[in-house]
Structure 1
């Protein structure tokens, strides 16, 4: 799986965007870029395998095993 953080202008400043979600607003492009780079590094860190629950778009609850070693390739697009 690949995820891409994009640096964008947002709410009078700069933010990073992943899909339809935005980070907090930063006063500068450099600050948003630094924060996005840190978030991308954290995505690559393995975690422990565990069971997770979440609600899908239709309102159904899903339970699945999340492999803590199955980390995405995260990049920052400036």
Structure 2
């Protein structure tokens, strides 16, 4: 199973959630960034209809795979900034 980890971090004068080095938009407060990450986390858990997926792999070959629509990733939010430890963004 795939695991997705969002981190809550200071970013661009505010706060954001980060996944694999990619930042969300900046939010004015830590709590807003945390809430946005929670919303995204919940959306990751919504299943879909079974489909056949076509994609191009890293070597340029086209592949097809069947997805049953229920294989959702495990999602976690890491928030290392307790209320008293938060830097001023």
Shorter-chain TM-score bucket reads 0.7 to 0.9
Report the structure, 1 or 2, having the larger strand content. 1
Distance 2:31 2:16 in 1: 10
Bigger radius of gyration:
2
1:60–1:11 CA distance, 2 compared to 1 (3 A): farther
State the Cα RMSD in Å: 1.6
Structure 2 vs 1, CA of residues 72 and 58 (structure 1 numbering), >3 Å: closer, same or farther?
same
Q: Report the number of matched residues.
A: 78
Q: CA deviation at 1:67?
A: 2.8
User: What's the TM-score, normalizing by structure 1?
Assistant: 0.83
Q: Which ranges in structure 1 are unaligned for 5 or more consecutive residues?
A: none
Shift of 1:7: 0.3
Structure 2: 5+ residue runs without aligned partners? 80-89
Offset at 1:64?
2.4
Instruction: Write out the 4+ residue segments of structure 1 that deviate beyond 3 Å after TM superposition.
Output: 53-63
TM-score, scaled to structure 2:
0.74
